[in-house]
Amino acid sequence: MRIDPETIRLIQQTADIVEVVGDYVSLKKRGANLWACCPFHNEKSPSFSVAPAKGIYKCFGCGKAGDVIRFVMDVEGLSYPEALRHLAKKYGIDVPERELTPDEVLSQNVKESLYIVLNHAKNHFQKTLFEYSEGQSVGYPYFKERGFNDLTIKTFELGYSIDEWEGYTREALKGGFTKDILEKAGLTIFRDDKQYDRFRGRVIFPIHNVSGKVIAFGARILKTDKTANQPKYLNSPETEVYHKSNILYGIFQAKQAIRNADTCFLVEGYTDVISLHQAGIHNVVASSGTSLTLEQIRLIARFTQNITVLYDGDPAGIKAALRGTDMVLEEGLNVKVVVFPDGDDPDSYVKKVGGEAFKRYIEESAKDFITFKAELSLREAGNDPFRRAEIIKDMVESISKIPDSIKRTVFFQKTASLMGISEEVLIAESNKIYIQAQKQKQKDKEREQNRQRLDQKNQQPPSPTADGSMMSFSEEDGEFLGEFLPDIPPPQTSDPVKQAPEKPSRSPVSYQEEEFVRLMISYGTKPIDPVAAPGVSLMQYLLSEIDGITFDNAIYQQIVSICRDNFLNGLVLDSSFFIGHVDSNIQTESINLITLSEKHQTSENWSKMHQIWVPTETDKLHDMAYTNILRLKKAHNELRMATLKKQLAQTHEPEAQNVILNEFLEAKLLEKEIAKLLGTVIGK
C-alpha cells in the first residue's frame, strides 16, 4: 500500500499550505507571512505563522513546525500515508492503488477501518433512502415534511435505515466487513448468537468530523405505534473515532462560512442546523443535546472568536442557553444570545420568516451575554433584595472569567447601571474572585513546571526547546508578535509556554554543530567560492572538512549522515528536502534552522532598502563556513582533551598513561594551530 515517490512529490507540489491551513484557522497577512492563533495549543494572540514561499508553518508558542503534510498529520491525527491521501483527495490527485480486500482492511489500523465502515454504512443508508421502497415511502416523506430539498439531503448525506433486525449487518458482512469492526463502529449489536442493527426504522443524520469524514450517526425514530420503549433520538456510542464532547454537528459544512462571517451560530438540534443551512445561513453548528464542552468551544475558536447562541424562547431553552456560556467567556470568546418568540425555535422561525428576515432578526435582537443574563435575572428576582444580591454575585463571577481587561471594565459599567449599583462594589467583589483564581493558577503552574523539568531530564536526545534554540526564536520575535496583542492581557492569561524558563547552559559544541547544520541545509547547493574554487558546492566543502568527526547532538549527526550518503550518490540536498522530511524531529529542527537563515536574509533586505550595504550570508559563505569549521573543530578538540584528562586520572599503568599523554599533547598542538588560524590567543 505504499504511495510511489512520484505521487508524493506531486502532492507536495500541488497542496497549497495557505489553503490547507486556512481550512482550520483564519490566517491574517502580516509582512511576508500569515499569522493565526495556533490550532495546536490554546492561545489568545497569534503566534502561529505560515511562510507561503517556503511552504512551511511554525508556532513560536508551542514550537510545532512542519510542511503541509505534517500539518494535516498533526491537525487530523493521521498517519503519513493517510495525510497524503487526504491531500490527494482535496486536490483531485489520483493515488494509484488497488481496491482493498477484506483482509487488507482488517490489517489496517482500527481507526482507518472505522472510517471505511462508517462511510460504507453512510452510503448504504443514503441508498436505502433513495432507492428502497421503504426509504421512499417512510424516510423520504419525513425529510420533505421538514421542508428539506434534495440538495440539502445530499449536502448533509441524510439517509434511512430499514425497519429490519439485520438489514445493514447482512449487507456489511457480505461486503467483507468483520463482526469485530461492525461492533467497534457501533453499527451492529452482537448478543449471544444473535446480531442486530443498532439503527432500525430511523432517519439517519451522519455526523462528520471537521475534515468531512463520517464518524458517527444520529438517528430519529419515525414509527410511533410499537416504539413506546424506544428513544426518539439514538446516537452512535463513543468509539475510537467518535467522542461526543469533541465534536459539533455541522462543523464540516459550516467551517468555511464561519470563517467568512467571523461568527458561529450555535443551535440545539440537527434539524435547526439543516433548516438554517437550506435558508442560506451556513455558519451554524449544533452541540446536539449535550451542554457545550471546552473542546467544542476550542473547535469553534479555530475559526472565529464570536459565538451567537440561538435557542428556543421557552424557559428550558433559555436555561440551556445560559449553561456553558461562562466557559465560552473564559476562553476569551465573545458571546451573544438570541431568544426566539415564545413557541419558536430556529428551525420553525426560519421557515416562518425566511433566511433574510431571520438574519435581520438576529442582528436586531442579539444581546451580549452579560446584558442578557442581567435582564433575565432581574425580571425573575423582582424587588427581592436577597435574590438581587445573589444575582450580582453571579454576574460578577461571569464577568471575572473574561480574560480581556477592557471588555471586563465595559461589562462592569453595564452591569452597574442595569443593577443600579456602584461599579466599585462590583470590582471589589471581582478582585476577591480574581485573587482566589490567581492562587489556584499559581499552584497549577508550579505543578506543570515540575512536570516539565522532569520531562526534560528524561528526554534523550535534547529537544529543540531543551537546548534553548527555540526560546531564542520566541524572544526575538516577541517584539514583532507584540503587534498582534489586541490589549494588555491580565496576568492570568499569560501563556506558560512563552515565559522563558532559566536557559539551560549550552556547550560551545552544540552551538557550532547547530551553525554547521544550518549553513549546510540552508546553503548547501550554493558555490563556496565561484572564483577560487569553481564548481565546488558548500555541501562538498563542509562534508570534506569534518571527516572523522561524530556530532554530539544526535539529530545533527543524523542530518549530516543523510547529507553525506546522498552526496556520495551524487546528490546535493537542498532545504526543501528537509522541510518535507518524514521524521518529525529532523523536520522541526530543520525548519527552525532554515527560519533562522531566512531571518538573516530579511534583515539584510532591510539594510538594502535603507541603502546600507551589508554583505548577505550568501556573499560570505566561504568565510562563515571556514570560521564555523575551525570553531567546531576547536570545540570537539576541547571535548576530547577533557575526556583524556578524565581517563588519565583513572589510569595507573605508566604505559597506558604515556599513550594518553601523547594523545593529549597532540590535541594541545591542534588547539594551538586552530587558535592561530582563528586569530585568537590562548593563555598558558
Which value, to the nearest 10 degrees, does the dihedral of the CA atoms of residues 546, 547, 553, 555 take?
100
- CA dist 566 and 40 (Å) reads 34
Residue 484 binds Zn ion, judged by CB under 5 A: no
Residue 90 CB, nearest approach to Zn ion (Å):
23
Identified binder of Zn ion from the candidate list 30, 41, 170, 220, rule CB under 5 A: 41
Cell of 181: 469492526
Least distance CB 497 / Zn ion (angstroms): 8
User: Do residues 520 and 539 lie in contact, with contact meaning Cβ atoms separated by under 8 Å?
Assistant: yes
Residues 410-429 within binding reach of Zn ion (CB under 5 A): none
> With binding defined as CB under 5 A, does residue 59 bind Zn ion?
yes
Closest distance to Zn ion from the beta carbon of 62 (Å)? 3
Q: How far apart are CA 59 and CA 47, in angstroms?
A: 6
Q: Is 388 in the site for Zn ion (CB under 5 A)?
A: no
Of 196, 147, 145, give the one whose Cα is nearest residue 170. Answer: 196
d(CA 22, CA 421): 46
Segment near Zn ion (CB under 5 A); pick from 60-68, 92-100, 101-109, 282-290: 60-68
Q: Does 50 bind Zn ion (CB under 5 A)?
A: no
Q: From the CB of 48, what's the least distance to Zn ion, in Å? A: 6
Question: E strands within 149-227?
Answer: 159-161, 188-191, 194-197, 202-208, 214-221
One-letter amino acid for residue 358 of the chain: F
- CA neighbours closer than 13 Å in the CB half-sphere of residue 612: 7
Segment 66 to 85, residues that bind Zn ion, using CB under 5 A: none
62 binds Zn ion (CB under 5 A): yes
Kindly indicate which of the ranges 61-69, 232-240, 556-564, 618-626 contains the residues binding Zn ion, using the contact rule CB under 5 A. Answer: 61-69
Q: Among residues 36 and 559, whose Cβ is nearest to Zn ion? A: 36
549's CB contacts (< 8 A; 6+ apart) are 632, 633, 636
CB of 296 to Zn ion, least distance (A): 20
Nearer to Zn ion, 41 or 359 (CB): 41
Tell me which of 21, 34, 37, 61 binds Zn ion, using CB under 5 A: 61
Task: Give the binding range for Zn ion (CB under 5 A) out of 15-23, 40-48, 209-217, 467-475.
Answer: 40-48
Name which of 337 and 471 has its Cβ closer to Zn ion.
471
Which of left, alpha, beta for 219 (phi over 0: left; psi -120 to 50: alpha)? beta
Among the listed residues 463, 282, 438, 445, the one whose alpha carbon sits nearest the alpha carbon of residue 358: 282
Give the residue with the Cβ less far from Zn ion, 48 or 265. Answer: 48
CA 569, CA 93: separation in Å to the nearest integer?
31
Which helix (H) or strand (E) segment is 132 a member of?
none
Q: In 10 A of CB 548, how many CB atoms?
A: 5
Q: Give the type of residue at 604.
A: E
- Region at 566 (left for phi over 0; alpha for psi -120 to 50; beta for the rest): alpha
Query: 41 or 220, CB closer to Zn ion?
Result: 41
Task: State the minimum distance, in angstroms, from the CB of residue 380 to Zn ion.
Answer: 43
Question: In 3D, which of 203, 240, 23 has the Cα closest to residue 116?
Answer: 240
Query: Which one, 38 or 470, has the nearer CB to Zn ion?
Result: 38
CB closer to Zn ion out of 61 and 324: 61
| Range in contact with Zn ion (rule: CB under 5 A) among 20-28, 59-67, 422-430, 470-478 | 59-67
Query: Whole-number minimum distance, CB 656 to Zn ion, in Å?
Result: 53
Total count of residues recorded for the chain: 684
Bridge partners of residue 58, in order along the sequence:
49, 65
Measure the CA–CA gap between 268 and 566, rounded to whole angstroms: 58
Q: Which is nearer to Zn ion, 68 or 203 (CB)?
A: 68
Pick the closer one to Zn ion by CB: 62 or 264: 62
Segment interacting with Zn ion (CB under 5 A) among 54-62, 193-201, 301-309, 327-335: 54-62
- Cα 411 from Cα 248, distance rounded (Å): 29
Stretch that binds Zn ion, among 56-64, 155-163, 266-274, 325-333 (CB under 5 A): 56-64
CB-wise, 25 or 38, nearer to Zn ion? 38
Task: Report the distance separating Cα 634 and Cα 632, nearest Å.
Answer: 5
Rule CB under 5 A: which of 651-670 touch Zn ion?
none
Cα distance between residue 212 and residue 222, in whole Å: 27
Given the rule CB under 5 A, which of 58-66, 109-117, 120-128, 580-588 is the region that contacts Zn ion? 58-66
Judged by beta carbon, residue 38 or residue 214, the one nearer Zn ion is 38
Cβ–Cβ under 8 Å, residues 240 and 114: yes
Q: Please state, in angstroms and rounded to a whole number, the distance separating the CA atoms of residues 303 and 283.
A: 10
Is residue 277 packed enough to be buried (19+ CB in 10 Å), middle (13-18) or exposed (0-12)?
buried
CB of 684 to Zn ion, least distance (A): 48
Q: Binding pattern to Zn ion, positions 326-345, x when CB under 5 A? A: --------------------
Instruction: Name the segment binding Zn ion (CB under 5 A); options: 57-65, 196-204, 559-567, 605-613.
Output: 57-65
Is 538:527 a contact under the CB 8 Å cutoff? yes
Interatomic CA distance for residues 210 and 39, integer angstroms: 13
Q: Minimum distance between the CB of residue 63 and Zn ion, rounded to whole angstroms?
A: 7
Smaller CB distance to Zn ion: residue 125 or 303?
A: 303
Contact indicator for 614, 607 with CB cutoff of 8 Å: yes
Shortest CB 472 distance to Zn ion, Å: 17
DSSP β-bridge partners for residue 206: 217
Q: What distance, in Å, lies between the first and last C-alpha atoms of the chain?
A: 64
User: By C-beta, is 57 or 411 nearer to Zn ion?
Assistant: 57
Nearer Cβ to Zn ion (47/271): 47
| In the complex, minimum distance from the CB of residue 42 to Zn ion, in angstroms, rounded to a whole number | 9
Q: To the nearest whole angstrom, how small is the minimum distance from the Cβ of residue 597 to Zn ion?
A: 22
**Among the listed residues 18, 40, 313, 456, the single contact to Zn ion using CB under 5 A:** 40
Amino acid letter, 42 = N
Interaction mask 292-321, Zn ion, x per CB under 5 A? ------------------------------
38 binds Zn ion (CB under 5 A): yes
In the complex, least distance from residue 302 CB atom to Zn ion, rounded to whole angstroms: 12
**Residue number, 64 or 85, with CB nearest to Zn ion:** 64
| Strand extents, DSSP E, 241-321 | 264-267, 284-286, 306-311
Neighbours of 591 (CB within 10 A): 26
Least separation in angstroms between residue 41's CB and Zn ion is: 4
Residue 242 or 303 with smaller CB distance to Zn ion:
303
Which grid coordinates are listed for 519? 549553513
Applying CB under 5 A, the span of 36-44, 182-190, 609-617, 652-660 interacting with Zn ion comes to 36-44
Instruction: Output the smallest distance, CB 464 to Zn ion, in A.
Output: 13
Q: What is the 3-class SS of 91-112, one letter each residue?
A: CCCCCCCCCCCHHHHHHCCHHH
- The distance of closest approach from Cβ of residue 37 to Zn ion in the complex, given in angstroms and rounded to an integer, is 9
Nearest in space to 413 (alpha carbons), one of 401, 431, 436, 395? 395
Nearer to Zn ion (CB atom), residue 495 or residue 638: 495
User: Would you count residue 37 as binding Zn ion (CB under 5 A)?
Assistant: no
Residue range at the interface with Zn ion (CB under 5 A); choices 35-43, 170-178, 306-314, 488-496: 35-43
The binding site for Zn ion (CB under 5 A) comprises: 38, 40-41, 59, 61-62
